[in-house]
Chains A and B, each alone.
Chain A
Amino acid sequence: MGEDHILKREVTRDGEKIDLQPREFLLLKHFMERPGRVQTRTVLLESVWGLHFDPKTSVVETHISRLRNKIDKPFDKHYLVTLHGVGYVLQP
């Protein structure tokens, strides 16, 4: 994984600049601060969206899939992994 310029909100991978929406950026930031640790849906909702309740809708799933399309799909190695029924993890 490339470097992450938090202040400038810039993301690059293998030197390629990646455009992220604000929530996608927050989501990626949350994962990068916890490499290799499984993050549940509830934790992500609280940390990234500030929701203290389950909106019973695919907020997390949608953003994970959009984020994955940008940071993983164009590349060979996939870092952001879904652990079915448990949560998500950004592999180190």
Chain B
Amino acid sequence: MKLRPLSWSMRFALALSAVFAIGTLSAGGLSYLFLSREMTQRLEADVQSSAESLARIAATGDRTDLREQIIAQVRSSRDGASLFAFVDAPSMQTLGSLQLAAPFEGPRRLLVGQDIPESELTGTESAEAYRAFGIRTDIGWIIVARDEAWVAESGEILIQTTAWSLILATLLSIGLALFIARKNERRVDRMDRVLDAVGAGHLDQRIKDDGGDDLADIAARVDQMLDRLEAGVESIRQVSTDVAHDLRAPLARLRMRLEPQALSVEVPMETRHEIGSALMDIDAISGTFDAILRLARLQSGTVERRNDPVDLGGMATTVWEILQAPAEEAGHALDLVIPSTRIQVYGDEDMLSQALTNLVVNAVEHCQPPAVIRITVGMRGEQPFLAVIDDGPGIPEADRARVLERFVRLDASRSVPGTGLGLSLVAAIADLHDAKLVLEDNAPGLKASILFAQATTSPAVLTKA
């Protein structure tokens, strides 16, 4: 996967997880608040009703019954969760499990160690405070207190539950979000790759995303556009092929009618020369048409390609020998560098010679003399290559993909004669050999290589006997 700034889907995923976490956290916080308030209220109501029921016994004036009730209640609450006290009115003597400095009426919160001496308590370690309610009756005060520990405990349980569910849910949501984001990222990556490939001229590439969402919709529309683009380019190609095909016959007839005139001794010398120039123009036109048709046949795969073992070094030597004279004539030096080992690929020697010739002729024509042009053969890793290297003007990187298209000629080379088909032809021949035409910067100059894929052409590297 390509390294890029955090993708929109990843950001979306993380934001969603964050919102989810904040939501869970606030829900937990609110329930904690509500719960502890509700529990405290119930605690208060509890001690009040408990005190009131003892007060009803006190109202009968039966001190013995009250005493027995309180002793029974104290006994049933050994753990100290509930405390009871009866403070006799005239004597101010306290009966029960709660010792107070002074009796009181109504609700009150009693702190352990401050309002209640710690030594009084029997066994409750966790209690820090008690909720108490006091009632004044005719015979004395009745006070009931209950510790707050279970309110705090319930709160703690709630906090723990919330925390665990928050951690689990956050992990789950981040995991799910990352999964979805990665999936989307892969889809966006695929779109990226397809568009790159189309930009480089592979018009048959499609995204083919069947995700069934808005991204898939966009992908489908891009695919449709590519269909139309490919059809458009194909129809232009077809038209130029048709034109070339249809005009070849009349051109040939024209040539046949003019040629005898160019050769006839009865025609004045000057006219014959003019007709000769016309014939050369006709030949140039036919040459372009032939190249268009040849390219069309190569690209459509209808041309028969031989599959013989081709010795790249030997073939390069032949091409070098043939092109040396014209290169010298143009003021250039044409070198040949081949390895001592034999490098062999399977292919069509004629086609490969033409491809190499085109590359050399390109260099001859586009370089200002005197340039040094070198034909080389070698291995790049496992891949055999044929290359033409020059020290001329080169091709700007931005134009390298474009020059492989048919009829494309860069402004810098408008003055040089040519059809704009040479490199397209080389690329098509390379294609037929499962090879790639690679244009690179030679700083200065151009390095044009035909790089064979070892896997499919299975070149045999043999040591020369």
Contacts and interface: CB of A to CB of B under 8 A. Distances in A.
Interface in B319-360: 321-323, 325-326, 328-330, 350, 353-354, 357-358
A86 B326 contact: no
B439 interface: no
Contacts of B322: 23, 49, 51, 55, 59
B262 A52 contact: no
A58 B279 contact: no
Contacts of A55: 322-323, 354, 357-358, 361
B287 interface: yes
A49 to B, nearest CB: 5
Given A54-B287, A55-B357, A85 B329 contact: no
Contacts of A23: 321-322, 325
A18 B379 CA distance: 43
Contact of B329 (A52, A56, A62): A62
Interface of B: 259, 262-263, 272-273, 275-280, 283, 287, 290, 321-323, 325-326, 328-330, 350, 353-354, 357-358, 361, 364-365, 418, 422
Contact of A62 (B277, B283, B326, B358): B326
B325 A62 contact: yes
Nearest to A24: B325
Given A55-B322, A56-B422, 13 more contacts: A53-B354, A53-B357, A57-B326, A57-B361, A57-B365, A58-B326, A62-B325, A63-B325, A83-B262, A84-B280, A85-B277, A85-B278, A86-B276
A84 B326 contact: no
B323 A57 contact: yes
Interface string A43-75: 000000101111111110111001000000000
A8 B322 CA distance: 23
Contacts of A51: 322, 353, 357
Contact of A86 (B262, B361, B365, B418): B262
Interface string A21-43: 00100000000000000100000
Given A53-B350, A55-B323, A66-B325, A85 B361 contact: no
Contacts of A61: 326
Contact of B364 (A49, A57, A84): A57
Given A55-B323, A57-B323, A84 B276 contact: yes
Contacts of B287: 54, 56
Given A38-B263, A57-B326, A62-B325, A86 B279 contact: yes
A83 to B, nearest CB: 6
Nearest to B278: A85
Nearest to A48: B322
B325 A84 contact: no
Nearest to B282: A85
Contacts of A84: 262, 272-273, 276-277, 279-280
A59 B275 contact: no
A49 B290 CA distance: 20
29 contacts: A23-B325, A51-B322, A51-B353, A51-B357, A53-B353, A53-B357, A54-B287, A55-B323, A55-B354, A56-B358, A56-B361, A56-B422, A57-B323, A57-B357, A57-B364, A59-B322, A59-B323, A63-B325, A83-B262, A83-B263, A84-B276, A84-B277, A84-B280, A85-B262, A85-B276, A85-B278, A85-B279, A86-B262, A86-B276
